Amino acid sequence: MTNTQKLRRGRLRLHIQVADILRDKIIGGEFSTSTPLPTETELMRDFGVSRTVVRQAMQSIETLGLVRRIAGKGTFVRDSSQYPFEGWSINSAADLVRYGTQTKLEILDRLEVPAPREVADALTIEPNTLVSKIRAVRSSGQGRFAYQINYALLDIGRRVAAQPIISSMLLAYQEHGLVELLHLRQAISAVAADNHVAKILEVSEGDPLLQFEWSMIATNGCPATFSHVFFRSDRYRHVTKLLPGAG
């Protein structure tokens, strides 16, 4: 595997480019789940980069939930069949990426609009400040199951909107080096479908929906994006894993 020629010096940071190439190969099935990925030394040679760059790239794809490390054996690709659609567990950035790569996103429109009060508060900007707004519908084999409205600070939104294909908003923000993610804030509530959302998700007005609010917080501690996502309750099941901890 020789990828040195694919790296663009002076553009995206090298570890992001290496992580992108590895991610694409993993999603494309080029690596077996039973064989360890190349070692750090092999990746350094193949990409022509330092050990630090390789380690940052590997940390990135591990954070995305694409690989797992086994002590004494190496780093292995996770079996994607472990994450069936019927039981999503969106409790981390890695879960959002899996959700994005295993379903289909259809962009409805990309606009620049004055920020409504709720959006302005979420992004800590003045009301009516111009922001990027991307509306989209997500589908699985069962059909449409989610309608999302994504708001981003204008400079970030413009660069994402320029991309012809977006499989995951989170991926789009990260893979172009637009946001260094610190964490995601998630809030969940139950709402009734209004006429507009009901038509998009092909349900009846008043049907129950799960509403998620996601805020992406950058490493500087400031919000960078804010999203509303409405899920059909008959096609989406939210699963949470609770771990034992100190009482």
Express each pLDDT in 187-221 by its tens digit.
999 999 999 999 999 999 999 999 999 888 877 78
Q: What pLDDT was estimated at residue 129?
A: 96
User: What pLDDT is attached to residue 168?
Assistant: 64
The pLDDT assigned to 16 comes to 78
Residue 121 phi, psi dihedral angles, 5° rounding: -65, -40
pTM of the full structure: 0.61
Q: Token digits for 119?
A: 């959006």
pLDDT computed for residue 57 by the predictor? 87
Give pLDDT, residue 68: 84
Q: Which tens digits make up the pLDDT trace of 127-175?
A: 999 999 999 999 877 789 999 999 998 888 888 777 665 666 666 665 5
pLDDT attached to residue 96: 65
Identify the residue with better confidence: 243 or 163. Answer: 163
Look at 4-13, 52-61, 141-150 and tell me which has the smallest mean pLDDT. 4-13
Strand partners, 78: none
**Residue 52, Cβ neighbours under 10 Å: how many?**
11
- Taken as a whole, the chain contains a residue count of 247
Q: Are 61 and 19 in contact (CB under 8 A)?
A: yes
Across the chain, the runs of DSSP E, i.e. the strands, are: 67-70, 74-77, 104-114, 130-140, 143-153, 181-192, 208-218, 223-232
pLDDT at 202: 92
**Which pair of tokens denotes residue 9?**
């010096």
Choice between 112 and 170, residue whose per-residue pLDDT is larger: 112
> Is residue 28 pLDDT above 50, yes or no?
yes
